[in-house]
Amino acid sequence: MRAARYHQYGEPDVIHIEEVSAPQVPAHGIRIKTRAASVNPVDTILRSGRAQELLPLELPAIPGRDAAGIVEEVGVDVTGVKVGDAVFGLGGVSDTTAEYSVLTAWARIPSTWSFEQAAAAGLASNTAVRGLDSLGDLKEKTLLIDGAAGSVGSAAASIAISRGAKVIGTANQRNHAFLKSIGVIATPYGPGLAERVAGLAPQGVDVALDAAGAGSLPELVRITGGPERVTTVADHTAPTIGVRLVNAENESGTLEVAAALGEAGLYLPRIARSFPLDQTIEAHILAQGAGTQGKVVVAISA
Ligand SMILES: NC(=O)c1ccc[n+]([C@@H]2O[C@H](COP(=O)([O-])OP(=O)(O)OC[C@H]3O[C@@H](n4cnc5c(N)ncnc54)[C@H](OP(=O)(O)O)[C@@H]3O)[C@@H](O)[C@H]2O)c1
């Protein structure tokens, strides 16, 4: 099969398109004919080598943590999914930017999403659901999301609104119309956040989710009134101030939550741009730059 691969850590140009063996399906996984894979922040960080002490990769490595496609083989221990189903989900730490990939957590693609949108939902929606679950019952609560226009942030916003929360979200001005379109009260991030939020939620903010990792945790703790009211998915300093750090896990249940919302028309993953496999380098360059509005995806096969 054709795959994007790098033999050494470095800038995006370490990626080459190569002919490699297709992966074997494990007992607890499925093999899909990949239609699209997304480029998440972790993919560019791993490729750069910046995380090699924490998360060393076996090189050569195929980038990509999530994907969408058609089930082509089912592991012997797997039930509830069959060859020919259209699914999205999570692979290993890497490995999905290839004509075939293995998923160990998945859900059916809702009829409202393209393969590219489904690929963009994998890691982002899993992380968003896990982050929100850690904040308890959201019905009639006011939730502040820092980085609400990002992939994780906007997934979290849509899911929280469906759970009955009022959501205030921070974003660059260029994303305020997008946030409004999904039901979020938008405000800029950065200095003066507490004052702006007090104006938008005079009754106070119950809980907050940091989906940006931009150093706002002390401010979010002040705004909500305590570290136990705050969760981050992106700031590893969290434990030093008593804030929860939640990470993605390969579990299908979170993806099914996102898919059900998609089917109901309540969550549509946002795509910045789609590149063909041959342009995976360009996809990584765009994804690691600032200001992308939505997920960068690699479309792999028709
Ligand atoms: N723990 C895990 O397992 C896990 C899983 C997935 C992602 N993550 C992490 O979660 C973060 C978000 O991922 P993503 O895929 O959603 O990335 P993304 O789509 O690039 O979103 C990041 C968002 O951060 C916002 N932002 C930039 N500067 C900011 C600032 N100073 N204050 C507040 N917000 C700011 C941006 O908003 P504007 O575009 O409006 O400027 C952007 O929408 C990343 O750090 C990623 O590594 C962690």
For the chain, give the mean pLDDT. 97
Domain count, the chain: 2
How far does the centroid of ligand 1 lie from the alpha carbon of residue 152, in Å? 7
Judge if 15 and 120 occupy the same domain. Answer: yes
Q: Is the pLDDT of residue 158 over 70?
A: yes
Quote the pTM value: 0.98
Distance CA 217, CA 67 (A): 31
Q: What is the pLDDT of residue 302?
A: 61
Domain around 42: 2-126+250-299
Q: What is the CATH number of the domain that holds 228?
A: 3.40.50.720
- What value, to the nearest 5°, has the Cα angle with vertex 104 and ends 100 and 105? 115
Task: Note whether 162 and 232 are same-domain residues.
Answer: yes
> 90-149, pLDDT tens digit by residue?
999 999 999 999 999 999 999 999 999 999 999 999 999 999 999 999 999 999 999 999
Q: How many CA atoms lie within 13 A of 40 on its CB side?
A: 29
Percent residues over pLDDT 90 in the chain: 99
CATH number for position 70: 3.90.180.10
Whether residue 190 is found in the same domain as residue 284:
no
pLDDT at 209: 99
Is the dihedral angle over the CA atoms 88, 94, 98, 100 positive or is it negative?
negative
> Is residue 177 located within the same domain as residue 274?
no
Q: Closest Cα to atom 13, ligand 1: which residue?
A: 152
Shared-domain flag, residues 83 and 147: no
- The finding on whether 129 has its CB within 6 A of some atom of ligand 1 is no
Measured by CA distance, the residue closest to atom 2 of ligand 1 is 247
Question: In the predicted model, is pLDDT for residue 59 greater than 80?
Answer: yes
190 and 208 share a domain?
A: yes
- My answer on whether 259 and 120 are in the same domain is yes
Q: Tell me: the pLDDT tens digits for 189-199?
A: 999 999 999 99
Task: Mark whether 100 and 24 lie in a shared domain.
Answer: yes
Residue 301 confidence class, pLDDT cut points 50, 70, 90: confident
Q: Do 120 and 170 share a domain, yes or no?
A: no
Distance CA 283, CA 278 (A): 10
